[in-house]
Amino acid sequence: MTMVFGVPLQALLGQLLVGLINGSFYALLSLGLAIIFGLLRIINFAHGAQYMLGAFVAYLLLAYAGIGYWGALILAPLIVGLAGAAIERLALSRLYDLDPLYGLLFTFGLALAIEGSFRYVYGSAGQPYAVPQALTGARNLGFMVLPNYRGWVVVASLAICVATWLAIEKTKFGAYLRAATENPTLVRAFGVNVPLLLTFTYGLGAALAGLAGVMAAPIYQVSPLMGSNIIIVVFAVVVVGGMGSILGAVVTGYMLGLCEGLTKVFYPEASNIVIFVIMAIVLLIRPAGLFGRTA
């Protein structure tokens, strides 16, 4: 058996794959966060709550409307996205002229309120949500047994990240978005309804978080606490990637997932700190983050 630093190669490959799966969630979440930050200059502290909301909506759809995973995959992000759009219209749009810190503080309060409400109604132990029938079972890859659902998560999240990236980099709508990031006033002067675009963008970011939530529901316990635990790590991902850089967020998401996976093999005690350590090092060497534009 081939060994790498005292760990069998096969096991290592398995762990790398697992890291990639984790990275998929980081990437999906940081993608939404980066889009919101890139255009709205708002650190969306409620992103974790919106992720949780996605998972909960999926659960509620199943429990009360009998709508299963595949339906939820479409509906839940839509619902979370619409809720996000409403929040943007009602509240966030009033904060754009102020210091960006107020956006951070508002979404912080929002996160507390959403999570608190769900904890109040549903407790914190969580709700059951099973892997969809079509994706149960596992496949032997030789070096590890990969549950089919995990395979789906990697493929789907990669597809979504690429699709979102393409939509933003290659379409007319994306061109509006990118242009509005640079100079919203001028884009408005060209006749584009930028306020609507902003509302849509926040909705899109929230929907991406919701989508990640639905995808997480069969793997992670659907609990009101699921978002607050992951959000800080995702912040670190976005800071390392370079705030506002969409590509940076996605690439860093996968990369840090892998780093974390490796740490779990070689020094598991540090696996929750490793991301912050990387962040500190990156900030020392490249204050703007790995993919950040301005120095």
Partner 1 sequence: MTDAALAPAAGRSKGRGVALIAVGLVLLAVAPFVVYPIFVMKLLCFALFAAAFNLLLGYAGLLSFGHAAFFGGAAYFTAHAVKEWGLTPELGVLVGVAGASALGLAVGFLAIRRQGIYFAMITLALAQMFFFFCLQAKFTHGEDGIQGVPRGHLFGVIDLNQPLAMYGFVAVVFLAGMVAIHRITESPFGMILKSIRENERRATSLGISVGSYKLAAFVMSAALAGLAGATKALVFQFATLTDVGWQMSGEVILMTLLGGIGTMIGPVVGAAIVTALENYLATSDFPPTIVIGVAFMLCVLAFRRGVVGELLATRWGKRLAGRGED
Partner 2 sequence: MTEAPLAPPPSNSTLQPSSRGTKPVAQALLKVRGLNAWYGESHALHGVDLDVASGETVTLLGRNGVGKTTTLRAIMGILPKRTGSVRLNGREMIGTPLHKVAAAGLGFVPEERGIFASLTVEENLTLPPVVAAGGFTVEELYALFPNLKERRRSAGTQLSGGEQQMLAIARVLRTGVTLLLLDEPTEGLAPVIVDRIGEIILEMKRRGMTVLLVEQNFRFASRVADRFYVMDHGQIVDGFAAAELPDRMDRLKEALGV
Partner 3 sequence: QVSDNKVKIGILNDQSGVYADFGGKWSYEAAKMAVEDFGGKVLDMPIEVVTADHQNKPDIASNIARQWYDTGQVDAIMELTTSSVALAVQGLSKEKKKINLVTGAATTELTGKQCSPYGFHWAYDTNALAVGTGGALVKAGGDSWFFLTADYAFGYSLEAQTTKFLTSNGGKVVGSVRHPLSNADFSSFLLQAQSSGAKVIGLANAGLDTANAIKQASEFGIVAGGQRLAALLFTLAEVHGLGLEAAQGLSLTEGFYWDRDDASRAFGKRFFERTKRMPNMIQAGTYSGVTHYLKAIARAGTDDTEKVAEAMRAMPVDDVFAKGGIVAKNGRMIHDMYLMEVKKPEESKQPWDYFKVLATVPGDQAYIKPSESGCPLAQ
Give the interface with partner 2 as residue ranges (CB under 8 A): 172, 175-176, 178-179, 181-183, 185-195
d(CA 44, CA 88): 11
144 binds, among partner 1, partner 2, partner 3, none (CB under 5 to 8 A by kind): partner 3
287 binds, among partner 3, partner 2, partner 1, none (CB under 5 to 8 A by kind): partner 1
Please name every residue paired with 127 in a beta bridge, in sequence order, or none if there are none.
222
d(CA 86, CA 42): 16
Going by C-alpha positions, the residue among 185, 209, 210 that lies closest to residue 197 is 185
Q: Which of 70, 120, 173, 190 binds partner 3 (CB under 8 A)?
A: 120
193 binds, among partner 1, partner 3, partner 2, none (CB under 5 to 8 A by kind): partner 2
Q: Which of 66, 90, 268, 284 binds partner 3 (CB under 8 A)?
A: 268
Sequence letter at residue 138: A
Window of 85-93, 128-136, 187-195, 280-288 that interacts with partner 3 by CB under 8 A: 128-136
Residue 112 interacting with partner 3 (CB under 8 A) = no
1 binds, among partner 3, partner 1, partner 2, none (CB under 5 to 8 A by kind): none
Element (H, E) at 217: none
d(CA 171, CA 23): 26
201 binds, among partner 3, partner 1, partner 2, none (CB under 5 to 8 A by kind): none
Residue 22 interacting with partner 3 (CB under 8 A) = yes
Distances (CA, A) of 114 to 58, 73, 87, 272: 16, 21, 12, 25
* Number of H-type helices and E-type strands within the chain: 11, 4
Kindly give, in sequence order, each residue whose CB lies less than 8 Å from that of residue 212, ignoring residues fewer than 6 positions away.
25, 28, 29, 32, 51, 54, 157
Binding site for partner 3 (CB under 8 A): 11, 14-15, 18-19, 21-22, 116, 119-120, 123-131, 138, 144-145, 147, 149-150, 218-221, 223, 225-226, 229-230, 261, 264-265, 268-269, 271-273
